Amino acid sequence: MIHEIPWRAPQDCFAALMPAPHIAFLDSAAAGDARSRFSYICVDPFKVLRGAQLAQVAEELARHTPIPGPLPFTGGAAGFFSYDLGLGLEPVASRHGNPMNLPDMAIGFYDTLIGFDHAARRCWLIAGARAGQDSGKRAGTILARLAQTPSPAPLPKLHWQADMRRDDYIAQVERILAYIRAGDIYQANFTLRHTAPRPAQLDPASLYLALRQASPAPFAAYLDCGEGLALLSASPERFISLAPGGEIETRPIKGTRPRHADARRDAALAAALAQSPKDRAENLMIADLLRHDIGRAAQIGSVRVPELCKVESFASVHHLVSSVTARLRPGLGAIDLLRATLPGGSITGAPKIRAMQIIDELEPCRRGPYCGIIAWIGFDGAMDSSIIIRTLIVTPTHVLMQAGGGIVADSQPDAEYEEMRVKAAPMLGVCDG
């Protein structure tokens, strides 16, 4: 059944439904942004795959027929695929263990969700038919819970500890520059992790609502991944979208400047980013890498670059963004496209495999979900996904946050460290007491 219900803000519906095991809130949180048209709250999955293989996701999707409806996503798979899953697809051996036991993926299969069209201010409750279950009763339970108006829980202070000191970070950037001068690579994306002990009273849903208020983003998300793991994302970056007819788009981000409260200063920062040879070169390299990756699964001759180095503005930063489009090769699907492109080129470097090897050598821990993707894949074969950046990862014992940037030949180590701090600041400040 698909039933239109009275409009209510997605974040309020999310708060009313929590706690909900394996909830997936795919949240277009940047109000007034053309990239923020649709949001989805997926609940009560009929199946969950955790730490499985990509083939199992494709097999489960193939067992189900599409649910016709007024939204791009009316049911299917939703969850995350980790950076480390992509590492194995290339394949690149890692020196890092997995002390926090983070899975390579956590995917729920949903036929029960609330979909929101922000532009039309309309929303629908979708409850698919299940053997031995009354979909109307399931929908009624959700509607009853939506009538609640809970308040977010108070947030405890998080005590962050960086995995590297400033001097260590700068020294590792210098090592990447040495690799570039030696001809090993043109670019590598280098990051730093902050870790905080998880307070016993921390409510991840309340923390997410605070994050989305501080840093609203077009590809925000909250995922309950089971076993005490949750992803709280304020990502500005689409990875890959796939339309039912096979049209592909990816929008890599490379190049960053902070926002400024003064309008003139803010405009000057955006203009400086648009004209920066270093940032444009960085963006161009990654757009070219993604052209190659998408070409593995695209129809020959269909790959295009309709936008190159366009400035897009977000809550706390300006970014340079490009667009690469193509058409999927007949006989292939969303999972084939992910096999061809994971991990995303914007968070690896070029050439991709060598950059990934250097990242593994120089970063002190595995990335886990960070720099992987959050995605929905419909029963109709469509997909949309985001890069897991600007994200808090809540584990049973810790909260993790990671940020960094692309290092190229004319990168200045001090400036790269400051850019990392600009990106990290909204996440680190959510629970600053």
Residue 162 inside a domain? The answer is yes
Q: 91 preceded by cis ω (within 30°)?
A: yes
Q: Look up the domain containing 194 and give its range.
A: 2-428
pLDDT at 156: 95
Residue 270 inside a domain? The answer is yes
pLDDT at 198: 97
pLDDT at 433: 53
Residue 296 inside a domain? The answer is yes
Calpha distance 68→19 (Å, rounded): 29
Helical (H) or strand (E) element with 174? helix 166-181
pLDDT at 244: 95
pLDDT at 152: 87
Residue 433 inside a domain? The answer is no
pLDDT at 397: 97
Residue 50 inside a domain? The answer is yes
Closest CA to 99 of 398, 403, 427: 398
In this structure, the number of other CB atoms found within 10 A of the CB of residue 121 comes to 10
Would you please indicate which residues are annotated as catalytic (active-site) residues?
A: 237, 254
- Alpha carbon of 252 to those of 220, 269, 345, 392: distances in Å? 16, 20, 8, 21
Q: Which residues of the chain have pLDDT under 50?
A: none
Does residue 225 contact residue 231 with C-beta atoms inside 8 Å? yes
In this structure, the number of other CB atoms found within 10 A of the CB of residue 220 comes to 29
Closest CA to 323 of 428, 216, 229, 250: 250
pLDDT at 431: 80
Provide the CATH number for the domain around residue 139: 3.60.120.10
Calpha distance 184→288 (Å, rounded): 17
pLDDT at 209: 97
Residue 349 inside a domain? The answer is yes
DSSP letter at 396?
A: S
DSSP letter at 53?
A: -
Helices (H), 18-165: 54-62, 83-89, 135-146
Residue 411 inside a domain? The answer is yes
Residue 269 inside a domain? The answer is yes
R_g of the chain, CA atoms, integer Å:
21
pLDDT at 165: 97
Q: Write out pLDDT tens, residues 176-218.
A: 999 999 999 999 999 999 999 999 999 999 999 999 999 999 9
pLDDT at 163: 96
Which residue in this structure is represented by tokens 């809970």? 150
The total number of structural domains in the chain stands at 1
